[in-house]
Amino acid sequence: MRTQQQLGRRNTCTPTNTSLVCSSVIMSLNKEETLSEHNLKTFPNNLEENQHQQAGGFKAKVFVIAKSGKILMPCKPAKARHLLRDNKVEVVSCKPFTIQLKFDCEEQTQPVTLGIDSGYKLVGFSATSKKEELMSGELRLRTNVSKKLEERRMYRRNKRNKLWYREPRFLNRVSSKKGGWLVPSVQHKVDTHIRLVKKIRSLLPITRTVIEVAKFDTQKLQNVDIQGVEYQEGQMSGYDNLRAFVLHRDNYTCQICKKRDGILQTHHIIQRKDGGSNRPDNLVTVHEKCHKDFHSGKIKHAFTKPKSFKQTPLMNNIRKCVVDKLVCDYTYGYITKRKRLELGLDKTHFNDAFVISDGVNQVRSKVFDVIVSRRNNRCLQLNRKGFAPSIRKQRYNVQPNDVVKFDDKNYLSKGSHNKGSRVIIEFNGKSKSVSIKKLEVKSYGKGIVLSTRQFPTHLKEGVSLAQT
């Protein structure tokens, strides 16, 4: 017992969530003639704890490009440091850290499978070889595209109202010019899926790509028993308009006071300004007085919010737009779920992508948090009197998510202000404004930006985001 306690003091891998006692795995300690062992390090004797530590994401990789431009297998950070010290490679990118060889090599690679778990808000990805997982993470898609388009429409409308004469234009809409048109918000998400796959292919020698797709029937989701001609008729078949259908569905009864007398109106459960639609599920019957009192705050009522089907257009177009353009394989969600439950993994997008990429018992890698950074940020600014907002016309040199160097350390910028003369960085957990003359731009954060989770406040010179 005393020996076990002594080993426990020297243990550097003691788990905090298990009650099992740790024991040494050094084989030479079992020999009688051995009195001591150098580099002693004990490990938990629980197989579940070993698997848990492997899946925690302690493996970092440095991506490698051959002298000829061919994508090679990644290497460990220690090997990359030795190559940099010997001046045998040059740094190509810091996000993520990528090096290119200055000497010729055999350019041998291994089969690598890329798995993509497509989604409406998050996209999981995982690249695995036969022995280990080389890269994994989650990409957070933008959800403010529709709002930005509304702002742009407002700016253009105000600009056109100031013109004396504007020639009429007809048939200038994109939907009338070509087929297969998608709404801008969905088109942006589809394009981001494609850009993500191309970005990973530029870092790893991907030999096979598998994307999870799905096919949703929106009318089937609302009515499970729908069939045949009912698909063409719809819910409002036989009614003059949408208002007549909603009033008849609610039995001409106010859904707030539950009375039938008085003037009836239709109320949006989710308001149009908040993204609500004119679907019948989003409309209820209310009295005119109850309607006014509800919006003025005199009365309160909790309506049942309708189900949102914004994800269905994207998921239905993933296979048609993404898979066909990238020429890759696809799988379905129920297959991913069955394999993930067999492996006992948690429900996350990067775990689903690991399963999609034929992951079984490979050593897991660090998890990247990937964001989509806007290339040009439109911003409102006020004049000196504090009124008359105007659009910033000049594009500043430093944009959000750019890596800048300040006092021999690298920082992520939050944006520029004071007409571009100063840049906001995160310094010691707080926002700090620094003159642009004291900064040096190391890399631009345009498009897809990769960073590991728990991003540090600063980066040392020459250290990649994948190594922090």
Give bridge partners of residue 372 from the DSSP assignment: 448
Note whether 378 and 393 are within 8 A (CB): no
Residue 277 has pLDDT above 70, yes or no: yes
Together in a domain, 45 and 132: no
Q: Round the CA-based radius of gyration of the chain to a whole number and report it.
A: 29
pLDDT of res. 102 = 93
pLDDT tens for 446-458 read 778 777 643 333 3
pLDDT tens for 401-447 read 788 888 888 888 888 888 788 999 988 878 889 999 999 888 777 77
pLDDT of res. 377 = 59
374 alpha carbon, distance to own chain's centre: 14
pLDDT of res. 452 = 60
Q: Which of 339-343, 364-368, 444-448, 459-463 has the lowest mean pLDDT?
A: 459-463
Residue 13 has pLDDT above 60, yes or no: no
Total domain count, the chain: 5
Q: Is residue 337 included in any domain, yes or no?
A: yes
Last residue of a domain, one of 271, 296, 321: 296
pLDDT of res. 260 = 86
Q: Is residue 9 included in any domain, yes or no?
A: yes
pLDDT of res. 34 = 34
Residue 101 has pLDDT above 90, yes or no: yes
- By DSSP bridging, strand 422-427 and strand 430-435 are antiparallel
Together in a domain, 380 and 256: no
pLDDT of res. 36 = 35
Together in a domain, 158 and 206: yes
Together in a domain, 349 and 390: no
Q: Is residue 403 included in any domain, yes or no?
A: yes
Q: Is residue 107 included in any domain, yes or no?
A: no
The CA-atom distances, in angstroms, between 408 and each of 121, 404, 415, 438, 441 are 36, 10, 20, 11, 12
Calculate mean pLDDT across residues 46-52: 36
Together in a domain, 263 and 346: no
Together in a domain, 46 and 80: no
Rounded CA gap, 423 and 402, in Å? 10
Three-state SS at 28: helix
pLDDT of res. 173 = 67
Rounded CA gap, 354 and 453, in Å? 18
Rounded CA gap, 306 and 210, in Å? 33
Together in a domain, 122 and 196: yes
Together in a domain, 355 and 379: no
Residue 197 has pLDDT above 90, yes or no: yes
Rounded CA gap, 246 and 266, in Å? 8
Q: Is residue 264 included in any domain, yes or no?
A: yes
pLDDT of res. 30 = 38
Q: Which of 138, 140, 135 is nearest to 114 (CA)?
A: 135
pLDDT of res. 29 = 37
**Residues 6 or more apart from 430 whose CB is under 8 A from it?**
none
Q: Which of 24, 45, 47, 46 is nearest to 36 (CA)?
A: 24
Q: Which of 468, 451, 463, 446 is nearest to 138 (CA)?
A: 451
- pLDDT confidence of 100, banded at 50, 70, 90? very high
Together in a domain, 39 and 67: no
**Residues 6 or more apart from 438 whose CB is under 8 A from it?**
406
Q: Is residue 454 included in any domain, yes or no?
A: yes
Phi and psi torsions of 204, nearest 5°: -130, 150
The CA-atom distances, in angstroms, between 415 and each of 2, 369, 441 are 59, 20, 13
pLDDT of res. 390 = 56
Q: Is residue 225 included in any domain, yes or no?
A: no
Q: Which of 336, 270, 348 is nearest to 309 (CA)?
A: 270
- By DSSP bridging, strand 133-140 and strand 367-373 are parallel
Characterize 87-109 residue by residue with b for buried, 16 or more Cβ atoms within 10 angstroms of its Cβ, and e for exposed.
eebeeebbbbbbbbbeeeeeeeb
Together in a domain, 182 and 322: yes
**Residues 6 or more apart from 261 whose CB is under 8 A from it?**
none
Half-sphere exposure of 194 (CA within 13 A, CB side): 17
- Supply 340's token pair: 């993930």
Supply angle C-alpha 436, 442, 444, rounded to 5: 90
Together in a domain, 250 and 282: yes
Supply angle C-alpha 333, 366, 210, rounded to 5: 30
Q: What's the mean per-residue pLDDT of the chain?
A: 77
Rounded CA gap, 60 and 452, in Å? 10
Residue 261 has pLDDT above 90, yes or no: no
Residue 144 has pLDDT above 60, yes or no: yes
**Domain that residue 423 falls in:** 375-460
Q: Is residue 241 included in any domain, yes or no?
A: yes
265 alpha carbon, distance to own chain's centre: 41
Q: What CATH number should be reported for the domain holding residue 398?
A: 2.30.30
Residue 324 has pLDDT above 80, yes or no: yes
| Residue given tokens 């004396």 in the structure block | 164
pLDDT of res. 46 = 38
Q: Who has greater pLDDT, 356 or 215?
A: 356
Note whether 217 and 229 are within 8 A (CB): no
Together in a domain, 131 and 212: yes
- At position 376, the amino acid (one-letter code) is N
Rounded CA gap, 342 and 325, in Å? 32
